[in-house]
Amino acid sequence: MSDVITTQSLTKYYDSLVAVDHISMQVKEGEIFGFLGPNGAGKTTTIRMLVGLTTPSEGTATIKGYDIRKEIVNVKRCVGVVPETSNLYNELTVWENLRFMAGMYHVPKNEREHRITSLLKTFGLTDRRGAKFGGLSKGLKRRATIAAALVHHPEILFLDEPTSGLDVMSARSLRKFLKNLRETGVTVFLTTHYIEEADQLCDRIAIIVKGRIIAVDTPEKLKAVVQGTSVIEVTFTSPVQRINLEELEAYGQVEAKDNTLWIQVTDVSKSLKALTSFADDNGLEVVYMNTVKPSLEEAFVKLTGVESEVMLMEKERRGGGA
Amino acid sequence: MIKEELEGIWHILLKDLKAYYFKPPNISWGILFPLVLALAFTLRNPAGFAELSPGLVAMAALFGTTSMEAIVITFEKRVGALERLIMAPVSLLTILVGKVLGGAVFGLVIAGVMTLISLLFLNAVVTYPILFIAVLILTVLAHSALGALVAVSVKEVFEAQTLSNYFRFPMVFLCGVFLPVEVMPIPIQVIAHLLPLTYAVDAFRQVLIGPLHISLMLRDVAALILFLTIFLMWATRLLKKSLG
Report A:73-112 residues touching B (Cβ under 8 A).
Answer: 73-74, 76-77, 81, 83, 85, 87-92, 96, 100-101, 103-106
Q: Sign of the C-alpha dihedral, residues B90, B91, B96, B101?
A: negative
Q: Are A42 and A96 in the same domain?
A: yes
A10 bridge partner residues: A23
* Cis peptide bond prior to B211, omega within 30° of 0: yes
Ranges of chain A with pLDDT below 50: 314, 318, 320-322
A148 within domain boundaries: yes
Identify whether the C-beta of residue B72 lies closer than 8 Å to the C-beta of residue B103: yes
SS3 A292: strand
Residues from chain B that touch A100, judged by Cβ atoms under 8 A, are: 11, 14-15
Q: Are A181 and A254 in the same domain?
A: no
Contact state of A52 with B8 under an 8 Å Cβ cutoff:
no
pLDDT range class, residue B229, cuts 50, 70, 90:
very high
- End of a domain among A200, A221, A242? A221
Dist. CA B199–CA B195, nearest whole Å: 8
Contact state of A87 with B243 under an 8 Å Cβ cutoff:
no
Residue A38's CATH number: 3.40.50.300
The closest alpha carbon to A60, from A9, A103, A94, belongs to: A9
Q: Are A248 and A157 in the same domain?
A: no
Contact state of B80 with A103 under an 8 Å Cβ cutoff:
no
The closest alpha carbon to B85, from A88, A26, A119, belongs to: A88
Contact state of B86 with A87 under an 8 Å Cβ cutoff:
no
The pLDDT > 70 percentage for chain B reads 100
Tally of helices (H runs) and strands (E runs) in chain A: 12, 14
Dist. CA A120–CA A128, nearest whole Å: 9
Q: Are A182 and A207 in the same domain?
A: yes
Per residue in B154-203, pLDDT tens?
A: 988 888 888 888 888 888 889 988 888 889 999 999 999 999 999 999 99
Q: Is A13 in CB contact (< 8 Å) with chain B?
A: no
By C-alpha distance, the chain A residue nearest B18 is A92
For residue B151, the Cα-to-chain-centroid distance in whole angstroms is 14
Contact state of A92 with B90 under an 8 Å Cβ cutoff:
no
Residues from chain A that touch B19, judged by Cβ atoms under 8 A, are: 89, 91-92
Contact state of A91 with B19 under an 8 Å Cβ cutoff:
yes
Q: Say whether pLDDT at B136 is over 90.
A: yes
Instruction: Please give the helix or strand (H or E) that residue B162 lies within, else none.
Output: helix B157-174
Contact state of B18 with A96 under an 8 Å Cβ cutoff:
yes
The reported pLDDT for the residue numbered A147 is: 93
Residue A249's CATH number: 3.30.70.980
The reported pLDDT for the residue numbered A243 is: 66
Reported ipTM exceeds the 0.95 cut: no
Q: Say whether pLDDT at B214 is over 70.
A: yes
Dist. CA A120–CA A98, nearest whole Å: 9
Per residue in B96-112, pLDDT tens?
A: 999 999 999 999 999 99
Dist. CA A128–CA A144, nearest whole Å: 10
| B20 Cα to chain A: minimum distance (Å) | 8
A159 bridge partner residues: A82, A190
A45 within domain boundaries: yes
Instruction: Supply the DSSP symbol for B222.
Output: H
Dist. CA A13–CA B183, nearest whole Å: 54
Q: Are A217 and A236 in the same domain?
A: no
Q: How many CB atoms lie within 10 A of CB A179?
A: 13
Alpha-helical runs (H) found in A71-218: 72-78, 94-104, 109-122, 138-150, 168-183, 195-201
**Cα dist from A184 to A32, A180, A181, whole Å:** 12, 7, 5
Dist. CA A141–CA A143, nearest whole Å: 5
Residues from chain A that touch B23, judged by Cβ atoms under 8 A, are: 91
Per residue in B57-99, pLDDT tens?
A: 999 999 999 888 888 999 999 888 999 999 999 999 999 999 9
Beta strands at A156-160 and A187-192: parallel, antiparallel or unpaired: parallel
Q: Are A207 and A263 in the same domain?
A: no
A18 within domain boundaries: yes
Beta strands at A187-192 and A212-217: parallel, antiparallel or unpaired: unpaired
Q: Are A142 and A240 in the same domain?
A: no
Dist. CA A92–CA A128, nearest whole Å: 12
Q: How many CB atoms lie within 10 A of CB B11?
A: 22
The closest alpha carbon to B69, from B30, B99, B98, belongs to: B99
The closest alpha carbon to A304, from A186, A200, A213, belongs to: A213
Chain B interface test: which of A50, A74, A86, A89 (most B C-beta within 10 Å): A89
| A106 Cα to chain B: minimum distance (Å) | 7
By C-alpha distance, the chain B residue nearest A56 is B244
Q: Are A262 and A160 in the same domain?
A: no
The reported pLDDT for the residue numbered B240 is: 92
- Parent domain of A176: 3-221
SS3 A217: strand
> Phi, psi at residue B213, to the nearest 5°?
-110, 115
Contact state of B11 with A52 under an 8 Å Cβ cutoff:
no
Q: Is A52 in CB contact (< 8 Å) with chain B?
A: yes
| A266 Cα to chain B: minimum distance (Å) | 50
Identify whether the C-beta of residue A167 lies closer than 8 Å to the C-beta of residue A137: no
The reported pLDDT for the residue numbered A307 is: 61
Contact state of B87 with A51 under an 8 Å Cβ cutoff:
yes
The reported pLDDT for the residue numbered A309 is: 56
Output the pTM of the full model. 0.82
Q: Can you give the C-alpha Rg of chain A in angstroms?
A: 24
Q: Is B78 in CB contact (< 8 Å) with chain A?
A: no
Dist. CA B149–CA B161, nearest whole Å: 12
Q: How many CB atoms lie within 10 A of CB B179?
A: 13
Maximum alpha-carbon separation in chain A:
79
Report B:8-47 residues touching A (Cβ under 8 A).
Answer: 8, 10-12, 14-15, 18-20, 23
Residues from chain A that touch B5, judged by Cβ atoms under 8 A, are: none
Identify whether the C-beta of residue B37 lies closer than 8 Å to the C-beta of residue B122: no
Q: How many CB atoms lie within 10 A of CB B169?
A: 10
Q: Say whether pLDDT at B210 is over 90.
A: no
Dist. CA A60–CA A57, nearest whole Å: 9
Residues from chain A that touch B13, judged by Cβ atoms under 8 A, are: none
Identify whether the C-beta of residue B92 lies closer than 8 Å to the C-beta of residue B86: yes
Nearest to A88 among B12, B84, B90 (CB): B84
Q: Are A190 and A92 in the same domain?
A: yes
SS3 A35: strand
Number of domains in chain A: 2
- End of a domain among A197, A221, A245? A221
> First vs last Cα of chain A: how many Å apart?
49
Question: Which is more confidently placed, B232 or A172?
Answer: B232
> Phi, psi at residue B79, to the nearest 5°?
-90, 0
Residues from chain A that touch B4, judged by Cβ atoms under 8 A, are: 106
A322 within domain boundaries: no
Q: Are A175 and A281 in the same domain?
A: no
A27 within domain boundaries: yes
Chain A interface test: which of B5, B12, B13, B15 (most A C-beta within 10 Å): B15
Q: Are A157 and A284 in the same domain?
A: no
Cβ contacts from A onto B, under 8 A: 64
Nearest to A81 among B12, B87, B244 (CB): B87
Q: Is B156 in CB contact (< 8 Å) with chain A?
A: no
A305 within domain boundaries: no
A202 bridge partner residues: none
Instruction: Supply the DSSP symbol for A172.
Output: H
Residues from chain B that touch A96, judged by Cβ atoms under 8 A, are: 18
The reported pLDDT for the residue numbered A320 is: 43
pLDDT range class, residue B127, cuts 50, 70, 90:
confident
Q: Are A162 and A20 in the same domain?
A: yes
A301 within domain boundaries: no
For residue A279, the Cα-to-chain-centroid distance in whole angstroms is 40
